[in-house]
Chain A
Amino acid sequence: MTSEVRETNGSMWRAAAARPDWDAVFAEQLPRVYNFLRYRLGNEALAQDLTSRTFEKAWRERHRYRRDLAGFSTWLLRIARNVAIDHRRTAHEHAPLEAAVEVAAEGTPEEEAVIRSNFARLSVLIGKLPERDRELLALKYGAGATNRAIAQITGLSESNVGTILHRAVQTLRAEW
């Protein structure tokens, strides 16, 4: 009955309804969570599975989201992080890192081959790093999180995050 009702002051309502718009959230955040888990786990199938779990968990717990405490992306990445940690705690064996190359092709076959090859190699190198470094790299380059957001998620100081990331990238560069 839209013609019989009034919706005044749209900005107020947008603010009132400033909880997550799930369609928008999904479109914006799916790539970040997905790539965080790809970088984190180095396994495409597992990344997809845990991404799905992350969104389901976030959906079920969305009423717990408090925008006064954290940005939505940070909140969602925290859930993704915990999902990954839970998985690693319970998993008895890990899929080979090479599974990371099982991704859908988007560019030319040649471009895809290069990307797959590079990411597979990168995944192997990242897999040799300490757990904490791997997590920070995944947050930085997979999720595209800022050092400040990473600090909020991990509980490390922002400067510490920067230092660890710098050293981790140096190590990867040396190994490459």
Chain B
Amino acid sequence: MDDHFMLSGWRTPPADFARRVRDRLHQLDREAEPVHRFRPLSRIAACAGALVLVVGAFSFPAVQAGARAFLDLFRIVNFAPVAVQAERFTALMERPDLDLPRMLSEQVEVLKAPGPRQTVADTAAAGAAAGIQVRTPTWFPVGLERDLIEVSADEALRFTVSTAKLKRVMDAFGIDDLSVPEEIDGQSATVRVPAVVRIRYRGQGHDVMLIQARQPQVTFPAGIDLASLAEIGLRVLGIKPAEAHRFAQSMDWRTTLIVPVPADAAAFKQVDVQGNPGLLIEAIGARARGKLPAASRVLWSSGNSVFALVGNVPPTELFEMAQSVH
């Protein structure tokens, strides 16, 4: 009796058994997918909201502070990255005649202002202030330690859609082959952004912020052609007409956020964060110049919450941190 004989009992798992186990794991995959429910009135038109958010996200330079981008993140469950020419949109954002952050509306009413951020002592206090169970990473890059916890209160906005305004924006971008859905003119949309918890970690020249909150609520009247609005938004982003049309028709705009990724400053990968859809964006500009890594980010949603991890540690470590958030 030698090792060879000991191994003679070894065998390949039966095919039907392997298939059953694999099917079971895939079933677990499906069970883990978040269920997205939208209130009947609204059909929660994240599309129009997403258009606003997409425009707001134009200012998404790779090293941008996390807070603003995270507000964009609030409206989404799935992430669809789109490469954009950052310089073009930065310039457009600065044109006062377009007022791109309010691309859809000339009337924006602040229903509730968030007020200044409050610094709190610990995660328990942050959770109590924000009304959520705060999650934190259990794994950190070497030298990184918690530095600050802040909470900003919830806020709410109502805006009234103006097709005239939208047409002006489209004209400015030379988009003349798409028509504006007239039925949205005068319709009101409400955006409610829950309280946000920001936990900052610092050390050895690195700065990472974990941002978390409940899912936002974007409420729109039912019946809006979300795909048409999305197509306009994609064209504004600079996507080619055929591609924008195909993409607009293929996405579920009630659950998807377009995340503009500067084409010359970042690379991205759609990732799985603890079984949830996410997006990893690496800022590559500074790294290419031999400096410290610029801020990369991981965005993901989990159940009723959304998360962003933004920082200048290597993307692999940022991803590792995200995977450890509990």
Contact = CB atoms under 8 A, between A and B. Distances in A.
A111 B14 CA distance: 16
B282 A12 contact: yes
B13 A1 contact: no
Interface residues of A, number: 50
B81 interface: yes
A106 interface: yes
Given A1-B243, A141-B7, A7 B14 contact: no
Nearest to B83: A5
A30 interface: yes
Nearest to A8: B267
B263 to A, nearest CB: 6
Given A5-B268, A63-B275, A18 B12 contact: no
Contacts of B82: 1, 4-5
B240 interface: yes
Contacts of A62: 275
A15 B20 CA distance: 30
Contact of A35 (B11, B21, B28, B319): B11
B121 interface: no
Interface in B226-278: 239-240, 243, 247, 261, 263, 267-269, 271-272, 274-275
Given A12-B315, A176-B1, A106 B24 contact: no
Report, as a range, how many residues of chain B touch the other chain: 35 or more
B143 interface: no
A66 B139 contact: yes
A121 to B, nearest CB: 10
Interface of B is mostly: mixed
B53 to A, nearest CB: 17
Contacts of B324: 63
A4 B258 CA distance: 12
Interface in A121-176: 122-123, 137, 140-142, 144, 169, 172-173, 176
A158 B247 CA distance: 56
Nearest to A114: B8
B156 to A, nearest CB: 32
B15 interface: yes
Contact of B280 (A3, A6, A16, A35): A16
A48 to B, nearest CB: 5
A16 B319 contact: yes
A52 B28 contact: no
Contacts of B247: 1, 4
Contact of B25 (A7, A13, A26, A173): A26
A13 B316 CA distance: 8
A16 B316 CA distance: 4
A6 B269 contact: no
Contacts of B269: 7, 13, 16-17
Ranked nearest first, the 6 interchain pairs of A and B with the lowest CB-CB distance are A119-B9, A104-B14, A173-B1, A8-B267, A63-B274, A34-B13
Interface of B: 1, 3, 5-18, 20-22, 24-25, 28, 80-83, 139, 239-240, 243, 247, 261, 263, 267-269, 271-272, 274-275, 280, 282, 284, 315-316, 319, 323-324, 326
11 contacts: A4-B240, A5-B82, A6-B268, A13-B267, A13-B280, A16-B269, A17-B271, A19-B272, A52-B24, A66-B139, A106-B11
Interface of A: 1, 3-9, 12-13, 15-19, 22, 26, 30-31, 34-35, 38-39, 48, 51-52, 55-56, 59-60, 62-63, 66, 103-104, 106, 115, 118-119, 122-123, 137, 140-142, 144, 169, 172-173, 176
Given A8-B267, A172-B6, 12 more contacts: A3-B243, A5-B83, A6-B261, A13-B282, A15-B316, A16-B282, A17-B269, A35-B9, A51-B21, A63-B324, A115-B9, A123-B9
